Amino acid sequence: MPKIDVSYKDLCSLIGRKISPEQISDELLYAKSELDGVDGDILKIDIKDTNRPDLWSAEGIAREIRARYRPGMPKYAVKKSGMSVIVDGSVNNVRPFTACAIVKGIRITSSVMSQLLQLQEKVAGTFGRNRKEVAIGVYDLDKIKFPVTFKAMKPEDIRFVPLASRDKMSAFDIIKKHPKGKEFGHLLDGKGLCPVFADADEEILSVPPIINSNHSGNVNENTKNLFIECSGFDLRFLNTALNVMVAALSERGGMLYSVNVMYGKKNIATPDLTPKSFSITVDYVNKISGLGLPAKDMSKLLEKSLYAPKISGKQIDVLYPAYRQDIMHERDVIEDIIISYGFNNVKPDSPKLITKGKLTEKQAFIEKVTNIMTGAGFQEILSYTLTSADNLYAKMGTNGNAAEIENPVSANWSVLRTWLLPGLLEFLGKNQHIEYPHDIFETGTCVLLANTETRSRDIPKLAAAVSASTVNYEAISSTLDALFRNLGMKYILKACVHPSFIEGRTAEIIVGNKVIGYIGEIHPQVLNNWSLEKPVVAFEIGLEEIFQCVE
Residues 55-106 have pLDDT tens digits of: 999 999 999 999 999 999 999 999 999 999 999 999 999 999 999 999 999 9
Choice among 20-34, 90-104, 133-147, 435-449 with the minimum mean pLDDT? 20-34
Helix (H) or strand (E) holding 315: strand 315-320
Tell me if residue 13 falls in helix, strand or coil.
Answer: helix
DSSP 8-state symbol, 404: B
Report which DSSP code applies to 90.
G
Main-chain dihedrals φ then ψ at residue 208, nearest 5 degrees = -75, 145
Q: What is the DSSP letter of 500?
A: T
CA distance 387 to 426: 11
Predicted pLDDT of residue 512: 85
Domains parsed from the chain with CATH numbers: 3-66 (3.30.56.10), 78-270 (3.50.40.10), 277-341 (3.30.56.10), 361-550 (3.30.930.10)
Residue 408 has pLDDT above 90, yes or no: no
Give the rounded distance of the alpha carbon of 540 from its chain centre. Answer: 29
pLDDT at res. 513: 86
Mean predicted confidence (pLDDT) in 400-410: 81
* Secondary structure in 3-state letters for 134-166: EEEEEEEHHHCCCCEEEEEECHHHCEECECCCC
pLDDT in tens, 455-498: 889 999 999 999 999 998 999 999 999 999 999 999 999 999 99
CA nearest to 31, candidates 53, 13, 12: 53
Q: Which pTM was predicted? A: 0.72
Contacts 24+ apart (CB under 8 A), 77-81: 77/255, 77/256, 78/256, 78/257, 78/258, 78/271, 78/272, 78/273, 79/255, 79/256, 79/257, 79/258, 80/257, 80/258, 80/269, 81/257, 81/258, 81/259
pLDDT band at 550 (very low <50, low <70, confident <90, very high): low
Asked if 127 contacts 120 with a C-beta cutoff of 8 angstroms, the reply is no
Position 164 pLDDT exceeds 90: no
Q: Rounded to an integer, what is the distance from CA 510 to the centroid of its chain?
A: 39
Q: How far apart are CA 117 and CA 258, in angstroms?
A: 22
Q: What is the mean pLDDT of the chain?
A: 92
* Angle between helix 473-487 and helix 361-375 axes, rounded to 10 deg: 140
Model confidence at 534: pLDDT above 60:
yes
Nearest partner of 522 among 509, 505, 546, judged by Cα = 505
pLDDT at res. 551:
55
Q: For 362-371, what is each residue's pLDDT tens digit?
A: 999 999 999 9
From 433, 383, 450, select the one nearest 413 (Cα to Cα). 383
